[in-house]
Amino acid sequence: MGGYFGVVSREDCVSDLFYGTDYHSHLGTRRGGLAVHNGGGCTRFIHDITNAQFRSKFEQDVLKLKGRMGIGVISDTEDQPLIIGSHLGNYAIVTVGRIANAAELVKKAYGLRSAHFSEMSGQEVNPTELVALYINQGSTFAEGIEIAQEAIAGSCSLLLLTDKGIYAARDKLGRTPIVLGQKEGAYAASMESCAFPNLGYETLRDLGPGEVVRLTAEGVETMTLPRSRCQICAFLWVYYGYPASTYEGINTEDARYRSGAALARRDPTPVDVVAGIPDSGTGHAIGYAMEKGVPFRRPFVKYTPTWSRSFMPQDQLTRDLVARMKIIPIKELIQNQRLLFCEDSIVRGTQLKDTVQRLYDYGAKEVHMRPACPPLIFGCKFLNFSRSKSELDLAGRRAIKEMEGQDGPPPPAYADPESDQHQAMVERIRHRLGLTTLQYQRLADLVGAIGLPKDQLCTYCWDGKE
């Protein structure tokens, strides 16, 4: 994934930029970057944040930065922000999304003959540089952004830091959010609205799909009107959105309570304790416990002093080890209990299987699992969303492959919770994980818990519908 924050102020903006960008640290684990316009041009810093938090990497740089406009990014992929010289003027750019047709766009760009790329990583073109190249084809920034958006398959939301303010552009189907905030003498654009309250900003509004605005210290100017069709990612409310953030007017934590309550309403299973797999299962579990009138407890606690962020080592073995080290079981709360856990989703299921075994080792009588979304059976094509990147690793796809005897697009019946195929798939996953019962959220209930009409949400992960 990734996240961005931009601010334009009558005063120095660096402190707001630093903390505002830091509030996106849960969205990426590879690179952090800041660019500040100081009147004469842009100054930029980029750091590897694989093994250290954004704040600790940038606290010295921030002392050297000064300016009234800036953009920042947490990136799960490439180095950003990039500083680009073009006929439109010099500017800095950050992007979040996934350019599914990057190879084709690179080929077309080489067809222009004069195009070149300077941010190569191995054989790979930096996707943000590719977007900039298409923006540079416009006669204005707004026109260039339009050209880039039309060319991109997938999605791309971006911020541009220019001499004349910050351009904020949401991807054309609104898969990722951009929220505008305001305080006396300053405007900000953010992926996460949770960046606003502690910096003194009030939320102004969400950008619409494909909308482009220009922020100056004086206000917000619409450069391109929003499109009518929206496909915002439903996974924001299930897993990766921050609980204190609100998108399209719907708060994440609140939606998770409704999601947990919906799970509880369909579930007659008698249990002693409801718990969440920390942290993203917690909101769903609170909603479940409140609806069912069963005590909410924490038989697993997260070791927050050193595992406070989602640290993502490159190799799977270390990742599994880190996942295990992060959460500590409490034997006294597990022994002889019928435990029901809410989890945001089951991806591969490998770590969950280990967790379930640990619960039995500590004396759990029963372990019931309630994922807050339906089985994942399609990998995300629209965002760089690491959880479901490799489609065939998904627990649901593995089960389907075993039943169908081959890979390939899953027959639609697997997405229908009433079908025999769906139930057989769930039973296989339950058996593999060693669970007493496994009951997934239904898509209609998840959509109801979020509260937007289904046709305004992307639900491709679960039903394969675009």
User: What is the binding site for ligand SF4 (CB under 6 A)?
Assistant: 175, 233-235, 380, 382-383, 385, 458-461
- End-to-end, the C-alpha distance of the chain in Å comes to 20
Distances in whole angstroms, Cα of residue 385 to Cα of each of 51, 88, 320, 379, 425? 20, 32, 18, 9, 24
CA distance 127 to 133: 10
Minimum CB distance to ligand SF4 smaller for 180 or for 383:
383
Minimal distance, residue 333 CB to ligand SF4, in Å:
33
Minimal distance, residue 312 CB to ligand SF4, in Å:
17
CA distance 344 to 276: 9
Q: Which of 367, 386, 384 is nearest to 437 (CA)?
A: 367
**Starting from the edge strand earliest in sequence, which strands make up the sheet with 179-183, in order?**
42-48, 31-37, 69-75, 2-9, 186-190, 179-183, 202-206
CA distance 268 to 446: 19
CA 308 vs. chain centroid, Å, equals 17
- Give the residue carrying structure tokens 């009107």: 225
Minimum CB distance to ligand SF4 smaller for 207 or for 339:
207
Minimum CB distance to ligand SF4 smaller for 133 or for 234:
234
Minimum CB distance to ligand SF4 smaller for 233 or for 372:
233
Minimum CB distance to ligand SF4 smaller for 246 or for 459:
459
Minimal distance, residue 380 CB to ligand SF4, in Å:
3
Minimal distance, residue 460 CB to ligand SF4, in Å:
4
Helices (runs of H) and strands (runs of E) counted in the chain: 15, 23
Minimal distance, residue 318 CB to ligand SF4, in Å:
25
How many residues in the chain? Answer: 466
Minimal distance, residue 24 CB to ligand SF4, in Å:
17
Minimum CB distance to ligand SF4 smaller for 264 or for 347:
347
Tokens of 13: 């903006």
Give the angle 20-285-431 at the CA atoms, nearest 5°: 115
Q: Which residues are registered as beta bridge partners of 276?
A: 342
Minimal distance, residue 432 CB to ligand SF4, in Å:
23
Minimum CB distance to ligand SF4 smaller for 175 or for 292:
175
